[in-house]
Amino acid sequence: MPPPSRPLRKLGFLTIGLFDEADPRRGHEATLRVIELGERLGFDSAWVRHRHLQFGISSPVAVLAAATQRTSRIDLGTAVIPLGWENPLRLAEDLATVDVLSGGRLNPGVSVGPPMHFDRVREALYPDTADAEDFTHRRVERLLAHVRGEPVTDFRGTEGIEVFSDRVQPHSPGLADRLWYGGGSFGSARWAGEHGLNLLVSSVVKAEGRTGFADIQRDQILAFRSAHPDGDRARVSQGLVVIPTDSATASQRAKYEAYAAARLPRTATPQGPAGLLFSPDFVGPAEEIAERLSAHAGFREVDEVAFALPFTFEAGDYEQILTDIAGALGPALGWKPSVDGG
């Protein structure tokens, strides 16, 4: 097996946090238990997805606030918060608060663009300002400025007995350096690099007239690093769907293989008006997956991953998958746990 060009340094996972509409607490608690398990297994990071008007986590920052009180070491990330739904100033306050509570472990990932199904939600989300809202990269720039502690008002001082700051409070030094941008196109990758952000890449890229998922992703990563002040040291984390089966039961293996097979047709050609190209899912024994990843052009450019857990599996499935990732796949890729499991 050829060694990856960059030894795997950080191992993470990503979950959507599904729940039953009739019992949402149970689903949210299950997500928190998965994060706790990840810390026990030695994972470096746990990430949560963002879903609005669906039965997945709609407020990852709130969930991660709870996770800060149930973990002590593991990094906690969002992949990603769609900023079209957010006021950057208010979000900066929430992110800084959770980062303070975590002891500097928060890794916010964000993206831009109009909210999904904007025509259906615009009156509820922006009843008076929908046509004036800016959903471009400028929204990230605003968030980054607020997180960095740049002034948001021309007043600071005391009025009566109340003391006011001219920047977001609390201010959490270092948080801006842990801000990630979720990009899947050459333009977004270059923009993230030019602005000194970290880059999250996933199992989806914009084909932009090209073929070959892995090669496209590699070239996007290279474009990001060529534009970033840190060059080859700029951080990139990859989020493919990876399902090792070493300790899986026969029924689990059958379910996993059926899941991947049902999703395989979308990987053949670009999908939809945006021309999105999807990566095949990686299912099988850890050694086999390690060989496939080591030959993957995109994976060979990263030393951090946040493998995505499938959306619709059960708690026992996630426990098995995470245990095999930490105990078998990670070591096969050269990774060592941050702490001994247990």
Q: What is the pLDDT of residues 147-172, one digit of tens each?
A: 999 999 999 999 999 999 999 999 99
**Domains identified in the chain and CATH numbers:** 10-332 (3.20.20.30)
Q: Please indicate whether residue 206 or residue 7 has the higher confidence score (pLDDT).
A: 206
Q: What is the pLDDT of residues 64-116, one digit of tens each?
A: 999 999 999 999 999 999 999 999 999 999 999 999 999 999 999 999 999 99
Mean pLDDT of the chain: 96
What is the mean pLDDT of the segment spanning 302-306?
97
What is the mean pLDDT of the segment spanning 297-323?
97
Cα–Cα distance measured from residue 181 to residue 109, given in angstroms and rounded to the nearest whole number: 5
DSSP letter, residue 5: S
Predicted local distance difference test score (pLDDT) of residue 339: 63
Handedness of CA 212, 281, 10, 333 (dihedral sign): negative
Tokens of 227: 């534009």
Q: What is the pLDDT of residues 249-297, one digit of tens each?
A: 999 999 999 999 999 999 999 999 999 999 999 999 999 999 999 999 9
pTM: 0.96
